[in-house]
Amino acid sequence: MKFNENLYKLDTKDCFRICTEKVKEYKTSHPETKVLSLGIGDVSFPVVPYIAKKMEEAVWRQTQNNFIGYGYHFGIPELIKAIKENEYPNFSEDEIYVSDGTKTDAGNLLEMFSKDALVGVYNPTYPIYINSAYSLNRRIEVIDCDSEYNPVVPNKHFDVLYICSPSNPTGINFSTKVLKPIIDYAIAEGCVILYDNVYFSFIESGIKSIYEIENARKCAIEMRSFSKHASFTGVRCSYYVVPNEIHPNINKYWKLRTINRFNGASYIAQVGALASFDKKAKVDIGKNIKYYRKNLNYLRESFSKLGYEICGGTDAPYIWVKCKNDLNSWATFELFLNVLGVVVVPGIIFGSKGDGYFRVSALGKYEDIVEAINRIEKYEKK
């Protein structure tokens, strides 16, 4: 077998798996300790009942003679229309694609570019971009963020740039001032920005979409997901916008590619996604986001009070915390786990620039977060 040897690189880089294994080992050797996770990347609230009911109706529709089968490669028309009306009124339905998750989309969109295209990924960032590019045998280079963890204008040519904003892991929603020069660079270089905006519903300040910035539609593809917004991490549904302005034939050929490579997101999931735009669902989704926001405020205040340097956490469910006492991120991870039974995510997972930091998440339960902070506080006071 002529194996894709790039896949070997993924194994050594799978630090999330290493964390999970270490936590599992700790739980086995400390059955008496309740392990508290500040590392949670999944949501803790389930799908809201209104959406579940609509999905149930969709299941039963699939037992009828007029069931929905093949044919909706880009998404069911009602959902595309709702996405346009609610989130992208300045784009045509032709430029919107529904899919089964931003993780899938972020990788698959590389199929739009020539094999020798150079892909740029900021350090630190969501590691999936690098791993997807490896899996697809793409040329990839890392670009260090500045000292405030903002992406910078590259000093060489790139064909594709991934930007995650609000950022996983730092929780920062990049400003127009940071993004505008990168957009200008992208237009001048014929580079396309793949803009991962999955945490859009957490944004309180600053821009909600890259398209709020002048000329972004000439160079940016924006991706969003129902995962964190509507607890669809298990249901699976996402969408993205491919603006016609990027290239005259971009949608003609991307549609051909999509018809050949994808049979559409699950109909049931799409009906659920459609329901998330209804007023009744929005009320409950809003309550969940408010709850996570309360967690965020509590975490931000607590870590600051404990003398940690922090950033992010106003527009994304993550806070980026500097390790104390010159510890690196693995040492801090081990200390929190082995001494306190508290899980955080080592910053190095997101790139070398993440070392010396750890990520905490507000997606867990408030009581657990309070208890985790109590343990850290007690330890710090010793």
Using CB under 6 A, list all residues that contact ligand PLP: 41, 101-103, 126, 164, 168, 196, 198, 225, 227, 233, 238
Q: How far is the CB of 378 from ligand PLP (least distance, A)?
A: 31
Going from the C-alpha of 1 to that of each of 5, 124, 280, 295, the distances in angstroms are 11, 35, 53, 50
Q: Which residues pair with 311 in a beta bridge?
A: 320
CB 164, min distance to ligand PLP, A? 5
Alpha carbon distances (Å) from 65 to 57, 60, 62, 271, 313? 14, 11, 8, 18, 49
d(CA 38, CA 165): 21
Q: How far is the CB of 8 from ligand PLP (least distance, A)?
A: 24
Among residues 150 and 238, whose Cβ is nearest to ligand PLP?
238
Q: What is the rounded CA–CA span in Å between residue 208 and residue 71? A: 32
**Which of 196, 368 has the CB closer to ligand PLP?**
196
- Is the Cβ of residue 171 or residue 341 nearer to ligand PLP in the bound state? 171
CB of 87 to ligand PLP, least distance (A): 15
Rounded CA-CA distance 325/336 in Å is 14
- DSSP, res 65: T
CB of 82 to ligand PLP, least distance (A): 18
37 bridge partner residues: 343
Q: How far is the CB of 198 from ligand PLP (least distance, A)?
A: 4
Smallest gap from Cβ 186 to ligand PLP, in A, equals 20
CA Rg, the chain, in Å?
21
Q: Closer to ligand PLP at the Cβ: 271 or 349?
A: 349
Q: How far is the CB of 168 from ligand PLP (least distance, A)?
A: 4
Rounded-to-integer distance, Cα 109 and Cα 121, Å: 14
Cβ proximity to ligand PLP, 197 vs 251, nearer residue = 197
Collapsing DSSP states into helix, strand and coil, what is residue 360?
Answer: strand
Burial class (CB in 10 A: 0-12, 13-18, 19+), 331: middle
Exposure string for 88-107, b = 16+ CB within 10 A, e = fewer = beebeeebbbbbbbbbbbbb
The nearer residue to ligand PLP, 165 or 329, going by C-beta atoms, is 165
Nearer to ligand PLP, 176 or 233 (CB): 233
Task: Give the helix/strand (H/E) hosting 357.
Answer: strand 357-361
Residue nearest to ligand PLP (CB): 101
Determine which helix (DSSP H) or strand (DSSP E) holds 225, and give its type and residue range: strand 220-225
